[in-house]
Amino acid sequence: MKILLVVTMLMISSGQFGRPAAGEIERISFNPEVLLTDEDYRQIDCLARNLFFESRNEGEVGMRAVGAVTLNRVGKYGSSICNVVYRHKQFSWAHLITERKQKRIIEIEYGAWGDAVDIAKDLYLNPTSTVGDRMHYLNESLVIEKYGRLPLWFTAHGKDPIKIGQHTFVRVRA
């Protein structure tokens, strides 16, 4: 079994299998003790799409922060990563970009897609490796535009927003 895995990894790294189609995740685990199910791959794909479409231009730190927000919403806004990502008003790209257009964008920006997949796999397999425990996204300009101020829970605790790229994040108390 280990020999087959090593040979398969060598064939993949040498390009003998080619690269996966746009939007597909290579089904290989570099830790032979970790066996992923089809559902695991589906959840990783949802997380990777969210990282890619929300923060592909914000580097690894931005992607990890968006990943932390996504994982922190599981349980409160949905029972799984996919439920959270595709829930109404959670992440706008999920409702604005068609599946067909997603594939075209991934094909064009394949390097960023690969980064998103690698980070999504790491976050899924090692959820404690996230940038921020209890990290939440705050759309600061939208909140101020709608309410005229930041929320009381934010200002009452003297929290400073963490800005990464175009996103503003805040850590909330447990």
pLDDT for 30-48, tens place per residue? 555 578 999 999 999 999 9
pLDDT value of residue 6: 34
In the chain, the number of structural domains is 1
39 domain residue, yes or no: yes
| 3-class DSSP assignment, residue 150 | coil
Q: Tell me how far CA of residue 74 lies from CA of 69, 77, 78, 84, 117, in angstroms.
A: 9, 6, 5, 6, 19
Inform me whether the pLDDT recorded for 15 exceeds 60: no
- Which residues lie closer than 8 Å to 19 by C-beta, 6 or more apart? 110
140 domain residue, yes or no: no
174 domain residue, yes or no: no
CB distance 169 to 69 below 8 Å: yes
Per the structure, the complete domain to which residue 92 belongs is given by 2-133
3-state per-residue secondary structure call for 51-69: HHHHHCCCHHHHHHHHHHH
